[in-house]
Amino acid sequence: MGSATSWRLAERGAQVTCFDRHSPPHTFGSSHGESRITRTAYFEGPWYVPLLQETFPLWRELEAASGAELLTLTGALMIGPPSAEAVTGSLAAAADHGLDVRLLKADELRKTYPGHIVGNRDVAVLDAQAGFIRPEAAVDAMIGRVEALGGEIRRGVAVSAINRRSGDVEVVTDEARETFDAVVIAAGAWTHELVDWLPLTVERQVLAWFAIDAEADWLTPGRFPVFIRQAHGIGDVYGFPSLDGLSLKIARHHEGDATDPEHVLRDVADSDLDPLRRYVKTRLRGVTQRVIRTATCMYTNTPDGHFAVGLDPEDPRVVVISACSGHGFKFAPVIGDIAADLAFEGHTSRDISHFSLTRFQQAGA
Ligand SMILES: Cc1cc2nc3c(=O)[nH]c(=O)nc-3n(C[C@H](O)[C@H](O)[C@H](O)COP(=O)(O)OP(=O)(O)OC[C@H]3O[C@@H](n4cnc5c(N)ncnc54)[C@H](O)[C@@H]3O)c2cc1C
């Protein structure tokens, strides 16, 4: 979110300085692990759809400027019983916005996508405007644009305080104190260090790459859309086509332990992998039980699962972004542009009413 904000600000001619306690793209936060799903028929809420529609041309703009391949369209399957939220919510968002989706029954699903083992009552919504983004390459491309436009990336520099003063905003780091007209805080799982009044919780997440059978050509990006499936007894599982022809990545959505960014357990245990092994065995065809790679990552969750984006209620020169809850990456270009609106203009024309920073106080959360 910080790279995206800096990119969108730099494109508008702002003089941008970006501080990161690590050296992005890196593997310590929330934006690594090869791939992130993007889709349009958004079951989390139809109000996300106009924002999502803005992201596709912005990803293409970034690809053109950087020469990097960032967005691959594969379509997305939301699989489950007809009552699954991913199914009903996607259909509702599609109906609201006239989106290109199809509802597949079990027979058609088996025939068209043999990688999925489904029960007779399972259905799937196929969302056409969907696929995956390469997060490390995207962060790198955004930072590259910032630098090309004259901005500065300060790597390995942690911000310890932000002081709201009468004429400017002071950023305090281990190295110095510097002043700016406006500051955007996008500190992911570390947000509580700089914004202690947002009720955010950090959740450990495990990603696993399973070896695939040599003949399983139905698992390639052209034949295997990204997917989210409500899997009875395991929770929601999502996955990607094989990007290397050797392995396929899957993970559970949520179901992780509470953690904090400085003490997150990086080692992956059998207890992390067993539910995924069960999933592979019972629901995927052509995928073996052999795990060839794992990664850990963090979700930063709000109580209602929607983002928190807006002006600091006490100081309109400070913008706060927590766009995660496990589904933020796909929005990065538009969230970055919204943050640029807020930092430059103090308001945005996009509907961000669902992301209000103060809604938790109002709800008494
Ligand atoms: C396993 C996993 C799978 C996901 N899958 C999807 C998906 O399929 N689709 C999707 O859309 N989203 C997905 N998400 C969510 C998405 O990745 C996040 O919404 C997004 O990465 C959040 O970005 P961020 O900028 O908030 O956090 P980060 O990328 O972690 O960035 C925060 C940055 O702030 C820096 N920082 C922190 N504190 C300070 C400080 N005091 N001073 C200086 N720098 C500081 C950190 O070093 C870090 O670089 C997934 C997340 C995870 C973990």
Q: Within this chain, do residues 90 and 180 fall inside the same structural domain, yes or no? A: no
Task: Among 301, 325, 350, identify where a domain stops.
Answer: 301
Question: Residue 281 pLDDT > 60, yes or no?
Answer: yes
Of the pLDDT bands very low, low, confident and very high (cuts 50, 70, 90), residue 363 is low
pLDDT at 92: 98
Number of domains forming the structure of the chain: 2
Q: How far is CA 259 from the centre of its chain?
A: 19
| Number of the ligand 1 atom closest to the C-alpha atom of 3 | 25
Which atom of ligand 1 is nearest to 26's Cα?
49
* Ligand 1 atom 4: residue of nearest CA: 326
What is the residue with the minimal CA distance to atom 20 of ligand 1? Answer: 329
70 Cβ inside 6 Å of ligand 1: no
Q: Quick one: pLDDT at residue 175?
A: 87
Does pLDDT of 273 surpass 60?
yes
Relative to the CA of 296, which ligand 1 atom is closest? 1
Q: Which amino acid is at 159?
A: V
Q: Residues near 343 by Cβ (< 8 Å), separated by ≥ 6? A: 5, 9, 14, 182, 184, 319
Task: Return mean pLDDT, the chain.
Answer: 97
Residue 362: band (very low, low, confident or very high) from pLDDT cuts 50, 70, 90: low
Do 127 and 66 reside in the same domain of the chain?
A: yes
Note the pLDDT tens digit of each residue in 38-69.
Answer: 999 999 999 999 999 999 999 999 999 999 99
DSSP per position, 113-159 = -TTB---TT-EEEEESS-EEE-HHHHHHHHHHHHHHTT-EEEET--E
Q: Which ligand 1 atom is at minimum distance from the Cα of 33?
A: 1
Asked if the model's pLDDT at residue 219 lies above 70, the reply is yes
Q: How far is CA 78 from CA 30, 123, 199, 234, 251, in A?
A: 23, 8, 30, 16, 15
Q: What is the pLDDT of residue 282?
A: 97
Claim to verify: residue 173 and residue 183 sit in the same structural domain? yes
| pLDDT above 70 for 276 | yes
Q: Are residues 310 and 187 in the same domain?
A: yes
- HEC per residue, 335-352: HHHHHHHHHHHCCCCCCC
Looking at 259, 284, 301, the residue that finishes a domain is 301
Domain boundary among 301, 319, 343: 301
Q: Does 213 share its domain with 73?
A: yes
**Residues 184 and 225 occupy one common structural domain:** no
Domain coverage including residue 345: 2-30+135-196+306-362
Q: What are phi and psi of 321, to 5 degrees?
A: -130, 125
Residues 110 and 217 in one domain: yes
Q: What is the pLDDT of residues 179-196, one digit of tens each?
A: 999 999 999 999 999 999
87 plus 26 within the same structural domain? no
Looking up residue 258, the CATH number of its domain turns out to be 3.30.9.10
Rounded distance from Cα 135 to ligand 1 centre (Å)? 10
Using CA positions, which residue lies closest to atom 51 of ligand 1? 326
- The β-bridge relationship of strands 201-212 and 287-301 is antiparallel
Looking at the structure, tell me whether residues 111 and 219 fall in a common domain: yes
pLDDT at 312: 97
Confidence of residue 365 (pLDDT cuts 50, 70, 90): very low
Q: Are residues 114 and 209 in the same domain?
A: yes
146 and 128 within one domain: no
Q: Is 132's pLDDT higher than 70?
A: yes
Query: Where do runs of H (alpha helix) occur along the chain?
Result: 2-11, 49-66, 85-97, 106-112, 135-148, 191-194, 270-283, 332-345, 359-362
What is the pLDDT confidence band of residue 296, given thresholds at 50, 70 and 90? very high
Q: Does 314 score more than 90 pLDDT?
A: yes
- Kindly tell me if the per-residue pLDDT of 173 is higher than 70: yes
* 34: number of Cβ within 10 Å: 17
Q: Is the Cβ atom of 20 under 6 angstroms away from ligand 1?
A: yes
Q: Is 134 in the pocket of ligand 1 (CB under 6 A)?
A: no
Q: Which two tokens stand for residue 282?
A: 């019972």
pLDDT band at 232, cuts 50/70/90?
A: confident
Residue 191: per-residue pLDDT: 98
Cα 223 to ligand 1 centroid, rounded to whole Å: 29
Q: Is the CB of 188 under 6 A from ligand 1?
A: yes
Q: What is the pLDDT of residues 317-348, one digit of tens each?
A: 999 999 999 999 999 999 999 999 999 999 99
CB 31 less than 6 A from any atom of ligand 1: yes
Tokens of 363: 């709800």
Question: What pLDDT, on the 0 to 100 scale, is given for residue 361?
Answer: 85
- Pair 69, 212 in one domain: yes
